[in-house]
Structure 1
Amino acid sequence: MTRRNFAKLSAFLAAGLATGVPSWALAQEAIDKLARAGGAVPDAIYTLADYCLNTRYEDLPAEVIKVTKGQILDTIIVMLPALDSDGIAQLYEWSKTAGGNEESLVLGTSVRLPAGNAVRLNAAMAAALEYDDTYEPSLMHASCVTIPVALAAAELAGGVSGKELITAVAVGTDLACRLSMAGSPGVSPFIVGWDPTPMYGFLAAAMVAGRLLKLDQAQMVAAAGLAYHQLSGNAQASVDGTHAKRLGAGFAASGGLLSARLAQQGVFGPFHVLEGPKGLFNQYHGGKYSKDALLGDLGTRFAGLGIAPKPYPSCRGGHVAIDGTLALVNEHNLLPDDVEKVVIYSPPAEMMLLGRPLEKKQNPQTIVEAQFSNPWMVAAAIQDRDIGLRHFSGEALKREDLKALAKRMETIEDKSLVRPDGGPGFVRLELHTRDGKVHTRTVKYAKGDPQNPMTEAEVNKKVYECTDAAGMKRQQAERIHQRILNLENETDVANLIAALAI
């Protein structure tokens, strides 16, 4: 956009403030005039808004529909056992005492809260147990934001069908992944310093909510601009292993929903959201971004097909180490007392999150620290030949067998293990036994990766592990499971949400 055209848009905004006419409406009028005069769309956010608003269920490939239903199932079931977890329990108590309109359900309960408070809690629950799925090329956890906000917006809107929910989630998840891939292409976001989930999640949440609340294009751009004005998402919470890591998705979901509701009332934000002089890619990425990653094959290539569900409730970057360890102990029938030490070789980003400082990773003091510790995960895999929710609990942190075994782990950085297409890096394990043998294993693609998918039996195991942990009776869990697998037949998803109450 030229400086002259920018000045024209600014004048329209000023006119709106002076006359009381919604300025976003006048801005849209100005943009339409520029487009008719041959001017370019001022920012890529307009293209994304149109895509989000105009995609129909019938436009979705059958594979995308199937995968999206699986992501909705996966996200809902990992929410259910999280309500009592540390950080979430405190947020729940605060949310109940804060008061306000009873708009949306806390998932798994009959408690209703203001929609913003409910979605903040639900999205934080989805992320809390580190069991939520991952878009590996950019380490984006899209589902823990887009699905809770879609459920909350569906309750607000009323009468939202299963097909419409599937469509909103499919396009919203695609947008979240595209945004996270576009910034600083080829570099891990954690090396740059951002946690992509609470960062891009604000924008994706605003657009998912905007679609379900039936915003028009100008309102959708306004919502995205308001979301941009709120977003952050640095990686320090993951490095330090604190409760903030669990809450980031909740902040994004709540902020995005608020942005959509304000835009619906005529509030506007910046409309050069992505490519403006101080837009997202210039301000947060120093102008380094890929327009092809953002817009290439939009509407025909869906990033959601590349999302990996997690078989273990821990940082996705450590799953290759778990898989490799389980393979070694099973292949060689190794017992914990057989193991002298294990050397875990990881690339730089995984070392930062999962391997350093070694003393802290060998002796985690909190559940979040354990979820981000390769030594802890490998020790648990050796000790129990399985990894599940029970290994990331207050009781597990007191287990002397796991603590002693974790001290036999070593971590070493190896830059050759960086994954060339982005995402969680590879791992190389050296398992030294007390009889002098060394067993090695390199793992590139963890279980759940599209190149190494989970089986139906593994998915079912996870579903019922989570519902059992939440106290849901098996008969109810089986009914919910089937309803989500047949989500396109739901006439009003509010009924499904209510049926989740344990």
Structure 2
Amino acid sequence: MVDRVAERAVDYAGAIAEHLEGTGLRDMPEAAIARAKQRLIDSLGNVLAGVHATGNAAARAAFAGYGGRPEATAAGVEERLPAPHAALLNAMAMRSYDFEAVGAEAADASMVAAHISGTTVPVALAAAERAGRDGTAFLEALILGEDLASRLAVASGFHTASGGDNTGTVNVMGGAAIVGRLEGFTQRQYRDALGHALNQMAGTVQNLFDKADSFKLPQSLAARNAIVAADLAKCGFGGLDDALGAAFGFFRLFSPAPRPEALLEGLGRSFYADMIIKPWASCRAAHPALDAVLRLRSGHGLTPDDIERVEIHVTPTTKRGFTGQRFADDPRSEVDGLFSIPYNVAVGLIEGTVRPEHLDVAYMARPDVRELLERVELVDSLPPDEYQTAEAVVLTRDGRRLHQRVEDPLGDIYRNPLSDAAVRDKFRRNIEFAGREERVGDELIAAVERVEDLDDLTPITSLLAAR
């Protein structure tokens, strides 16, 4: 439990508000700025790739149907929408293939489960477009909001076994900070906005166990709620004094293993965010196993016909979790493939990768995919603390026993980063998957590279609109 005496001695919301008001791009290391641009490129590709995923047309019909002021652009929608709705729909598109950046970064280069960019980028785009802010204001607000969300995830001690989904908690506060920065908030307004964010937090990992399309809602509703929280504060609607450290604040209500002091460590000097850019379109919990079989496939020239059986060794928690369930006999949407270790292993062995095009229901029903799936077995043999590790054992039809252990799956900026070229290749393939012209990718990359020089975000948002 949180030490209530120590907690009351620190005004957490006040410290955050002062930081948000007084910190700018001039205070941010070049490396943090470069990483933010790389995540932005990756995010824009994921938004466009996810527009037509299952359920998204229905969501667009619902939110476009509300009408309202034309403030911001939503991918796949002809007319501009109110900023909260545009942010929600872009966040939903980005989450659709679980391909966006993940992993809240801690000071010791460890990771806490999180999907931050999937909310913060749509919020920053919508709020900056609405306010007519320039690229410098957009970039510094984005970095500040992502840093806050990452710090909150780490300080909360979040883990998915708690049953919550922190895309619907920490992201709301990070997003509200972004809007506040773009609107020039006072410290009192930041306090109010954080309080309004607290009152809108929600999310359950049951969505993932049920393989429901609603797994996208916590992240996308967080985008809408972040803007609502900040808009209420801007209009003078009063909120909590300290939504973080109060007796029934964030650390009490949404923190499985709280370490409040971590929130303020190195504040204003280090700027944290998602620390993993995904190489494959699937839950990060599947990546150690996928990476292991891809290394075996490449190193030994394996084809599916060579394989007698595949054992994937994981922790007991992983096997019991939402990625360890038996793959559906009758998959309904991308969700079934995204959150299945056996499915990712089978596709990886067939294709050498897992991308959005491999998450189509028709692809999932292919006889070769289903047949190979029957030869993949999960074994809960690893120690509990090796939850980011997997071991693959492939038994071949000619009698070989091939083994690969992976502790450093591809994508982690500290241990096994994607190269900038690989990130851009992923982006361009997502643009192609979205059915957009190659020039769209070229123009988006050019705009992001010089985002500080943009007078407004039109060079980016104009390319997200429906075509």
Alignment TM-score, normalising by the size of structure 1: 0.86
- 1:42 positional shift: 6.0
> In structure 2, which of residues 391, 397, 403 is the aligned counterpart of residue 434 of structure 1?
397
Deviation sequence 1:414-434 (CA, Å, 0-9, x none): 342634xxxx61111111112
Q: Which amino acid aligns with 1:144?
A: G
Which stretches of structure 1, 4 residues or longer, exceed 6 Å deviation after superposition? none
Deviation sequence 1:207-227 (CA, Å, 0-9, x none): 111111111111111011011
Give 1:228's aligned residue: 198
Give 2:4's aligned residue: none
- 1:395 positional shift: 2.3
SS in 1 for 2:113: coil
> In structure 1, which of residues 56, 61, 64 is the aligned counterpart of residue 32 of structure 2?
64
CA distance in 1 between partners of 2:364 and 2:80 (Å): 34
> In structure 2, which of residues 268, 283, 291 is the aligned counterpart of residue 299 of structure 1?
268
Q: 1:89 to 1:349 in 2, by over 3 A?
A: farther
Give 1:150's aligned residue: 124
Q: Which amino acid aligns with 1:147?
A: V
State whether residues 417 and 426 of structure 1, in contact with CA within 8 Å, keep that contact through their aligned partners in structure 2: no
Where in structure 2 are the equivalents of 1:371-390 lying within 5 Å?
371-390=338-357
Aligned positions, number: 453
Give 1:481's aligned residue: 445
Tell me whether 227-236 or 251-260 shows the greater mean CA deviation.
227-236
Q: Which amino acid aligns with 1:148?
A: P
CA distance in 2 between partners of 1:374 and 1:365 (Å): 17
- 1:110 positional shift: 3.9
CA distance in 2 between partners of 1:292 and 1:437 (Å): 52
Q: 1:490 to 1:355 in 2, by over 3 A?
A: closer
> In structure 1, which of residues 265, 289, 304 is the aligned counterpart of residue 258 of structure 2?
289
Deviation sequence 1:365-398 (CA, Å, 0-9, x none): 4310210001000001111222222111122122
State whether residues 313 and 389 of structure 1, in contact with CA within 8 Å, keep that contact through their aligned partners in structure 2: yes
State whether residues 355 and 411 of structure 1, in contact with CA within 8 Å, keep that contact through their aligned partners in structure 2: no
CA distance in 2 between partners of 1:369 and 1:330 (Å): 26
Q: Provide structure 1 residue ranges, at least 5 long, that are not aligned to the other structure.
A: 1-39
Give 1:369's aligned residue: 336
Q: Does 1:445 align with 2:415?
A: no
Where in structure 2 are the equivalents of 1:313-462 lying within 5 Å?
313-358=281-326, 360=327, 364-416=331-383, 418-419=385-386, 425-450=388-413, 451-462=415-426
Where in structure 2 are the equivalents of 1:132-281 lying within 5 Å?
132-135=100-103, 137-158=111-132, 160-184=133-157, 189-281=159-251
Deviation sequence 1:294-319 (CA, Å, 0-9, x none): 11011112222x61101111101111
CA distance in 2 between partners of 1:340 and 1:263 (Å): 61
CA distance in 2 between partners of 1:274 and 1:394 (Å): 43
Q: Which amino acid aligns with 2:202?
A: S
- 1:480 positional shift: 1.4
- 1:41 positional shift: 7.0
Q: Which amino acid aligns with 2:201?
A: L
State whether residues 362 and 406 of structure 1, in contact with CA within 8 Å, keep that contact through their aligned partners in structure 2: no
Where in structure 2 are the equivalents of 1:111-150 lying within 5 Å?
111-135=79-103, 137-150=111-124
CA distance in 2 between partners of 1:489 and 1:433 (Å): 56
Q: 1:41 to 1:51 in 2, by over 3 A?
A: farther
- 1:94 positional shift: 1.3
Q: How high is the sequence identity, in percent, across the aligned residues?
A: 28
- 1:460 positional shift: 2.1
Q: Flag the structure with larger Rg.
A: 1
- 1:500 positional shift: 3.4
SS in 2 for 1:442: strand
- 1:352 positional shift: 3.4
Give 1:24's aligned residue: none
Q: 1:349 to 1:68 in 2, by over 3 A?
A: farther
CA distance in 2 between partners of 1:380 and 1:129 (Å): 15
SS in 1 for 2:267: coil
- 1:43 positional shift: 3.1
Q: Which amino acid aligns with 1:278?
A: F
- 1:443 positional shift: 0.5
Deviation sequence 1:65-113 (CA, Å, 0-9, x none): 1000111111111000211111212101112222111111113654211
Q: Does 1:493 align with 2:457?
A: yes
CA distance in 1 between partners of 2:410 and 2:339 (Å): 18
CA distance in 2 between partners of 1:134 and 1:349 (Å): 20
Q: Which amino acid aligns with 1:396?
A: Y
